[in-house]
Every structure is written in C-alpha cells, then in structure tokens.
Amino acid sequence: MLKRDALRLIAGCALSISAVAILAACSEKKAQFRGVDVTGADYARDLPLPDHNGQMRSLRDFRGKAVVVFFGYTQCPDVCPTSLQELVEAKQLLGADGERLQGVFVTVDPERDTAEMLKAYMANFDPSFLALRGSPEQLAAVAKDFKVYYKRVEGKTPTSYTMDHSAGSYIYDPAGRLRVYHRYGSGSQALAEDVRTLLRETP
C-alpha cells in the first residue's frame, strides 16, 4: 500500500513539473513586430563598404544599437527622402532610446553621389546617420546579399538619369542580427515600435 502511494506521489510530482515546464515555455512569447519578421534570415549579413568619411564599415561597428539600413540615392525625388524622414521621426518617438538607433543609407548611385554630397545629404536629416558608398563592384556584391534591386534609367542627358531601386528598410537588433523588414510607407510609428522591441530585448 505504501509503495503504491509512493508511486502515485512520484507520478503526481512528475506531472506537476511537466505542467510548469509547459507553462514556462508558453510564457516565452515570440517578439511581435509591425514589420515582416525575418529573424534567422541567411541574407543581408554585412555591409563591408566605406562611409562618407572614408572609414570602412561593418555591422559589428554598431553593436549595442538597433540599425536601420536603407538603399537609395541623393537625387531620388520621393521615396528616399520620405524614408529617411520617417527614420528621423522614429528616432524622436523613441526619446532617450533614440541614441541607440543607427541609420545607415547605402547609395545605389556611387557615380553621382560623392562622399561630400552624401555627408551633406545625411546632415539634412540627422548628422549621426551614415551613408555608405562603394565601387560599382562592391555595391553589386552587397546588393546581391541584401536581395536589393537597382537599375539605371537613362534621362534626356547623360547626367539626368534616375535609379529604380528596392524601397524597404532592414532592421538589425543590438547583437547585429537581421530581425525585421519594413516595406516602404510603413510609417515612423511602426518603425519606432519595432526598434523599441529590439532594444528591450537587449538592455
């Protein structure tokens, strides 16, 4: 009789432990993002390009910050300035946490976008944002890794061409991992919320 009671007690304890383990697993909720969750993606791994100050850059340089990467060009009439302005507004919405947000703009028009022009362009939005400019070969390699499309569209004169390009932002967590993709027009509020979620994961 005592043996049977002991077995029942052991079985009861085992069930209790299992229930606790299941509840604990359920309580570890997956982060909910306003953008597209791309956690674990095997692309957009790094940005080995020089910035507008001539310094070679890598995502490792921004550890401890959430990084938002956008591809465009300075003579873009609408998409690029709109996206950068949304990033500025998102930084403001974050308050003090805005200091842990790094904006990175990669030009798809290195022929016209000189380092000096890029530096001035970034200053119009936020001096802490960085612009990256590589050779055509470097740009092609990075764009391929990011799955970014870009193409020159000829204008009336040799220098009046435009650039068709992908319009979306890649968001990295403070550990340098790609986590979220925001389509063009998602808005500053959605961007700020996702950045805040990533920053809370890594105090």
Across the 203 residues of the chain, what is the mean pLDDT of every consecutive 10-residue run? 46 44 48 93 96 96 97 95 97 97 98 96 96 96 97 91 94 97 95 96 75
Nearest of 135, 141, 136, 60 to residue 104 by alpha carbon: 60
Same domain, 7 and 104: no
Structural domains in the chain (count): 2
Q: Are residues 104 and 55 in the same domain?
A: yes
- Please report the DSSP string for 134-187 in residue order: --HHHHHHHHHHHT--EEEE--SSTT--EEEE--EEEEE-TTS-EEEEEETT--
- What's residue 14's pLDDT? 45
Q: 90 and 131, same structural domain? A: yes
The answer on 162 and 108 residing in a single domain is: yes
- Same domain for 23 and 62, yes or no, is no
Identify whether residues 92 and 15 lie together within a single domain. no
Residue 180 and residue 33: Cα distance in Å, rounded?
7
Give the residue numbers spanning the domain of 18.
1-30
Instruction: Answer yes or no: do 119 and 197 share one domain.
Output: yes
- 88 with 6, same domain? no
Examine the domain organization and report whether 180 and 91 are in the same domain. Answer: yes
Give every CB contact of residue 69 below 8 A, 6+ residues apart in sequence. Answer: 44, 47, 104, 106, 146, 169, 170, 171, 172
SS3 14: helix
The residue among 47, 44, 52, 72 whose CA lies nearest residue 62 is: 47
| pLDDT at 8 (0 to 100) | 54
Give the model's pLDDT for residue 203: 63
Annotated binding site for Cu cation: 76, 80, 165
Claim to verify: residue 77 and residue 123 sit in the same structural domain: yes
Question: Do 43 and 101 share a domain, yes or no?
Answer: yes
Same domain, 67 and 97: yes
66: β partners: 101
Residue 49 CB contacts under 8 Å (≥ 6 apart), including other chains: 56, 57, 106, 132, 133, 134, 138, 139, 142
- Which residues are 168's β-sheet partners? 183
pLDDT of res. 159: 86
Helix or strand (DSSP H, E) at 71: strand 66-72
